[in-house]
Amino acid sequence: MMKKAIMLIMLFGTVLLFNACNLDDGQNFRFTTLSIVDAQVPEFFELNQRYSIEVTYIRPDACTFFEGFDVARTAQTDRDVVVIGSVLTDDTACAQLAEEVKASFDFNVLYSGEYHFRFYTGQDEEDNSEFLEFIIPVMD
């Protein structure tokens, strides 16, 4: 009898615990790409060194927040860099800002030759991606 009561209490507690957590709240944000307007890269890299690369991007409104960078390796020494932001999707009124914001990421130089960086600046009228491009030689 006591075991049944304990089991019933445990079962009731488990049901309450799972009902208290609502996992289907719905998302109130979406991810987006942000336009880069400038990048500060060194004139050259040294092999096996780490560099901080500063990027200036546009924060379009008060509901858009910096989330990080997507640095995609497109070839051994080619990198496409995109700033990732999140945008609130609820009915919050967002003040238009169009402010320039700086952020940086660390980059390790692992290969000799030269690195080709492309920083995403946005889309043109024909919906083609546009980039700021830099070629940075590596000194051994």
User: Residue 62 falls within a domain, yes or no?
Assistant: yes
**Sequence-ordered list of residues with C-beta below 8 angstroms from that of 33, at least 6 positions apart, any chain:** 82, 83, 84, 85, 120, 122
Phi first, then psi: give them for residue 52, nearest 5 degrees. Answer: -95, 120
Q: Can you give the residue range of the structural domain that contains 101?
A: 29-139
Instruction: Give whole-number Cα distances, 82 to 6, 89, 97, 139, in Å.
Output: 56, 21, 20, 26
User: Residue 43 falls within a domain, yes or no?
Assistant: yes
Instruction: List pLDDT tens digits, range 11-46.
Output: 555 544 454 444 445 679 999 999 999 999 999 999
User: Residue 90 falls within a domain, yes or no?
Assistant: yes
User: Residue 111 falls within a domain, yes or no?
Assistant: yes
Indicate the pTM of the whole model.
0.79
User: Residue 11 falls within a domain, yes or no?
Assistant: no
In this structure, what CATH number is given to the domain that contains residue 93? 2.60.40
Number of domains in the chain: 1
pLDDT at 140: 79
User: Residue 4 falls within a domain, yes or no?
Assistant: no
